[in-house]
């Protein structure tokens, strides 16, 4: 059965339900996705993340251990997590245990573990994680790059907060976030597995009625900086960690996503088939790997990439990254590169829709980004038919990706 979209009307609001029935394995899963309730909705850095964490601490009645025991006894997976734009609550179980799983989720939503003990536990975990990140040079460079590219916007903030911001978050902050961001009117449900829609609807009706109506706020578009800044962060490191990024003026809803996919693959997404890998690793041996992506979301669109190299070759690698991007934009790609990319993208397509969860997410992604539900099929046809002239016209038009900024974790006295 193909993935389809249904709707459940609740108090005059049509709640989208992305649904696929599949009985090959007797498992059922439901995800509740709340739009505009992710990291970018933080009023304090790390608040969305801690709000998801506290929903993983069970109920006040049972506590985290007692509640987890209930789930484990019936092999139920239930949890919450948060992304840049969305907050997700999900539950999955064997079909025979799914009624019980929904009972436990209802129990959780009506009685979250809003206790000082639970808050102290999740804050200690987050603080421990943040302290570990002080020696994670990839994390440091990546966080710093976002600060450079998106200074003065929510995207510049550390998603999981800082040691200082996490300390200031209270139970009231978390309760306010959950009650004001998770509503039936910003919900999308994803349901898949060995279940008929009429049964899925019964479960969803029980869940939907628990949530309030919340104020809806659109996500404003954020443009990456084109100022070509370089920031060096000095640590006791034996390697240079180079993160780089630039603007990419391209909307998430643009119907030429296939061209961006091909450009992304050939510049830095293809591993050994990409320009960056070929020039910087294969020809010069400056790194084990270098990668880049053309990130496209409702919030922003930008080029982002990273690599590691010896301290003594840091400057050479940085210069080469700029040269490769400049050359890519100036002269475009070859017919051979285009042909090879088409073969890969078309040939690997079955692997991207192999599982039920992949198909549900793909349909959700098309729906969320205001594209036709069959857009993935449409995109494949476009990849197959796009010409070299069309691709090079596209690449050469995006001169803004040359405006690279760099965030580099390095040693103050480099080895020459």
Q: What DSSP character marks residue 221?
A: P
Question: Which domain, by its residues, includes 129?
Answer: 4-208
- The predicted pLDDT at position 325 comes to 98
Do 280 and 181 lie in one domain? The reply is no
Closest CA to 31 of 212, 239, 190: 190
- The predicted pLDDT at position 39 comes to 94
CATH of the domain at 374: 3.30.830.10
* Residue 215 is assigned to a structural domain of this protein: no
Cα–Cα distance, 306 to 291 (Å, whole number) = 6
Do 93 and 150 lie in one domain? The reply is yes
Cα–Cα distance, 28 to 101 (Å, whole number) = 10
What are the backbone dihedrals phi and psi of residue 383, each rounded to the nearest 5 degrees, phi first?
Answer: -60, -45
Beta-strand pair 86-94/13-21: unpaired
- The predicted pLDDT at position 414 comes to 59
pLDDT in tens, 285-312: 999 999 999 999 989 999 999 999 999 9
Do 184 and 257 lie in one domain? The reply is no
Beta-strand pair 405-410/77-82: unpaired
* Residue 247 is assigned to a structural domain of this protein: yes
pLDDT surpasses 70 at 245: yes
Do 50 and 103 lie in one domain? The reply is yes
What are the DSSP calls for 222-233, one per residue? Answer: -PPP-S--EEEE
pLDDT surpasses 60 at 332: yes
Do 152 and 286 lie in one domain? The reply is no
Cα–Cα distance, 163 to 161 (Å, whole number) = 7
pLDDT surpasses 80 at 352: no
Do 243 and 357 lie in one domain? The reply is yes
Report the phi/psi class of residue 207: left, alpha or beta, with left for phi > 0 and alpha for psi in -120 to 50. Answer: alpha
What are the DSSP calls for 352-414, one per residue? Answer: GG-SHHHHHHHHHHHHHTT--TTHHHHHHHHHHH--HHHHHHHHHH-GGGG--EEEEEE-SS-
Do 251 and 194 lie in one domain? The reply is no
* Residue 145 is assigned to a structural domain of this protein: yes
- The predicted pLDDT at position 72 comes to 97
pLDDT in tens, 166-178: 999 999 999 999 9
- 252 near 85, Cβ under 8 Å? no
Domain count, the chain: 2
Do 280 and 202 lie in one domain? The reply is no
Do 371 and 254 lie in one domain? The reply is yes
C-alpha R_g of the chain? 23
Exposed e or buried b per residue across 178-198, where buried means at least 16 C-beta atoms within 10 angstroms of its C-beta: beebbbbbbbbbbbbbbbebe
Closest CA to 377 of 253, 262, 267, 257: 257
Q: What DSSP character marks residue 147?
A: H
pLDDT surpasses 80 at 385: yes
pLDDT surpasses 80 at 236: yes
Of 151, 173, 208, the residue that ends a domain is 208
Do 91 and 139 lie in one domain? The reply is yes
- 158 near 45, Cβ under 8 Å? yes
* Residue 105 is assigned to a structural domain of this protein: yes
- The predicted pLDDT at position 360 comes to 86
């Amino acid at each position: 059965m193909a993935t389809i979209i249904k709707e459940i009307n609740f108090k005059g609001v049509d709640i989208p339900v992305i649904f696929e029935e599949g009985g090959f394995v007797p498992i059922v899963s439901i995800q509740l996705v709340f739009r505009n309730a992710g990291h970018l909705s933080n009023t304090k850095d790390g608040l969305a993340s801690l709000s998801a964490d506290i929903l993983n601490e069970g109920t006040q009645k049972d506590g985290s251990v007692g509640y987890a025991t209930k789930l484990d006894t019936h092999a139920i997976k239930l949890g919450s997590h948060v992304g840049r734009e969305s907050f997700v609550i999900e539950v999955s179980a064997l079909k025979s245990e799914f009624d019980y799983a929904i009972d436990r989720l209802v129990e959780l939503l009506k009685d979250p573990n809003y206790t000082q003990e639970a808050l102290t536990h999740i804050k200690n975990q987050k603080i421990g994680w943040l302290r570990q990140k002080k020696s994670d040079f990839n994390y440091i460079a990546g966080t710093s790059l976002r600060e450079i590219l998106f200074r003065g916007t929510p995207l510049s903030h550390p998603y999981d907060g800082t040691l200082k911001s996490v300390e200031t978050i209270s139970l009231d902050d978390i309760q306010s976030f959950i009650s004001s961001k998770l509503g039936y009117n910003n919900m999308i449900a994803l349901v898949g597995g060995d279940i008929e829609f009429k049964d899925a609807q019964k479960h969803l009706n029980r869940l939907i009625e628990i949530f309030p109506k919340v104020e809806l706020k659109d996500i404003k578009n954020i443009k990456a900086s084109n100022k070509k800044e370089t920031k060096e962060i000095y640590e006791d490191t034996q390697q240079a960690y180079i993160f780089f990024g630039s603007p990419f003026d391209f909307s998430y809803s643009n119907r030429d996503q296939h061209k961006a996919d091909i450009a992304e693959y050939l510049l830095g997404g293809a591993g050994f088939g990409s320009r960056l890998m070929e020039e910087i690793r294969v020809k010069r041996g400056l790194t084990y790997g270098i990668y880049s992506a053309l990130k496209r979301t409702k919030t922003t669109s930008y080029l982002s990439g990273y690599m590691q190299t010896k301290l003594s070759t840091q400057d050479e690698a940085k210069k080469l990254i700029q040269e490769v991007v400049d050359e890519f934009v100036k002269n475009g790609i070859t017919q051979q590169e285009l042909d090879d990319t088409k073969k890969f993208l078309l040939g690997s397509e079955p692997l991207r829709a192999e599982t039920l969860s992949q198909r549900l997410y793909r349909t959700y992604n098309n729906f969320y980004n205001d594209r036709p539900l069959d857009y993935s099929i449409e995109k494949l046809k476009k990849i197959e038919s796009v010409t070299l002239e069309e691709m090079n016209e596209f690449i050469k038009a995006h001169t803004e990706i040359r405006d690279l900024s760099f965030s580099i974790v390095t040693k103050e006295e480099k080895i020459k």
